[in-house]
């Protein structure tokens, strides 16, 4: 009896430390299925230690603890997902993807696992189509989760593409309405960078000054775009790649930044990466036909460089304004 009490006391103490000291209540909730079955002391100690280390941003130690758990329970989806999140934090995105795939294939209905995989793909500038190829996409709940997740991530066009595959019903009707409202709102704010002119009267003279009415965050995006345009003209593809990635970290829904990164990849002969990035960026292009044309030309250039003229011509045919 004493041994059992000590075991329970130890688990309660670990839980209270995690929740009180590290604000890890959400982590415990998201990984609740770990506690629904009986696991060995070694497993539970390693798991709690992993959560603790991740909570204090010791990601290497967290990974080591979760790997201990995975060695004991190789098919445990919750452990694989915790590994994915720890790898994401330490910017080891391919390893994060590998673990998120394990988690989602074990439990395709789980939204948290799907989000981990989605983030790991986005961090590698991969398209949603990649996700469809590596998960049990025939699972209907997974499709619903994916449509909802894409909506939450403001990837509206891809969300609509997934919705088309769903049966008519309350979920589809509700999300369709939300998507349309979001798309309409985005279109209304497409020209958010505006300039107005004000007249200031000072006796005895008048002077007119230009006032830029962008917010601080918009101004940062504006500055990134200016830098990228200048770098693009200089054909400094190394610096262009670095700056575009930095811009996308801050503004992941700005289509021009995807165009700049795709162009940089083409300039550095990373043609597959260019195609994936440019196709992803097209999801964010709405009414800017000339920018869309630039995307198509760059995709065509990448396919041409890879020796696929048929694909290149397919995208060139989409160009509306010929140079």
- CA dist list (Å): 49 to 14, 77, 171, 258, 291: 9, 17, 39, 39, 49
CATH 1.25.40.10 maps onto the chain at 13-132, 217-316
Give residue 28's pLDDT. 42
- Domain 13-132 matching CATH 1.10.1040.10: the answer reads no
Can you give the pLDDT at residue 23? 37
For residues 90 and 92, give the distance between their C-alpha atoms in angstroms, rounded to a whole number: 6
pLDDT for 296 equals 94
Query: What pLDDT is stored for residue 188 in this prediction?
Result: 66
**Cβ(225)–Cβ(256) under 8 Å?**
yes
Q: Please compute Rg for the chain using Cα positions.
A: 24
Residues 6+ apart with CB under 8 A from 296: 315, 316, 318, 319
Chain-centre distance of CA 105, in angstroms? 20
- Per-residue confidence (pLDDT) for residue 185, from 0 to 100: 73
The pLDDT assigned to 305 comes to: 95
CATH of 217-316, one of 1.25.40.10, 1.10.3720.10, 3.40.50.300, 3.40.190.10: 1.25.40.10
Q: Which residues of the chain fall below pLDDT 50?
A: 1-36, 192-219
Whether the full predicted model's pTM is greater than 0.95, yes or no, is: no
Residues 6+ apart with CB under 8 A from 76: 34, 69, 70, 106
Check: CB of residue 226 under 8 Å from CB of residue 213: no
The pLDDT value given to residue 275: 93
């Amino acid at each position: 009896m004493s041994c059992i009490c000590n075991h329970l006391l130890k688990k309660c103490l670990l839980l209270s430390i995690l929740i009180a000291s590290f604000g890890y209540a959400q982590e415990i909730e998201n990984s609740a299925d770990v506690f629904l079955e009986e696991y060995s002391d070694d497993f539970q100690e390693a798991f709690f230690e992993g959560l603790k280390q991740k909570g204090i941003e010791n990601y290497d130690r967290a990974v080591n603890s979760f790997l201990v758990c995975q060695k004991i329970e190789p098919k445990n989806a919750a452990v694989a997902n915790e590994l994915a999140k720890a790898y994401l934090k330490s910017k080891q995105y391919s390893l994060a993807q590998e673990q998120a795939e394990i988690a989602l294939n074990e439990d395709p209905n789980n939204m948290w696992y799907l989000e981990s995989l989605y983030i790991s793909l986005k961090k590698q500038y991969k398209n949603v189509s990649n996700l469809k190829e590596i998960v049990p996409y025939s699972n209907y709940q997974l499709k619903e989760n994916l449509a909802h997740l894409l909506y939450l991530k403001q990837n509206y066009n891809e969300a609509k593409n997934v919705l088309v595959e769903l049966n008519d019903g309350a979920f589809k009707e509700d999300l369709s309405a939300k998507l349309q409202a979001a798309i309409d709102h985005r279109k209304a704010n497409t020209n958010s960078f505006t300039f107005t002119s004000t007249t200031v009267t000072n006796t005895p003279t008048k002077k007119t000054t230009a006032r830029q009415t962008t917010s601080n965050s918009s101004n940062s995006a504006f500055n990134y775009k200016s830098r990228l345009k200048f770098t693009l003209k200089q054909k400094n593809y190394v610096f262009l790649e670095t700056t575009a990635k930095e811009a996308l970290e801050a503004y992941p829904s700005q289509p021009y930044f995807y165009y700049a990164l795709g162009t940089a990849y083409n300039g550095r002969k990373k043609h597959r990466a260019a195609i994936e990035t440019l196709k992803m960026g097209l999801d964010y292009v709405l009414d800017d036909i000339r920018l869309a044309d630039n995307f198509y030309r760059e995709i065509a250039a990448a396919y041409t460089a890879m020796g696929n003229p048929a694909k290149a011509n397919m995208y060139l045919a989409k160009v509306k304004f010929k140079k």
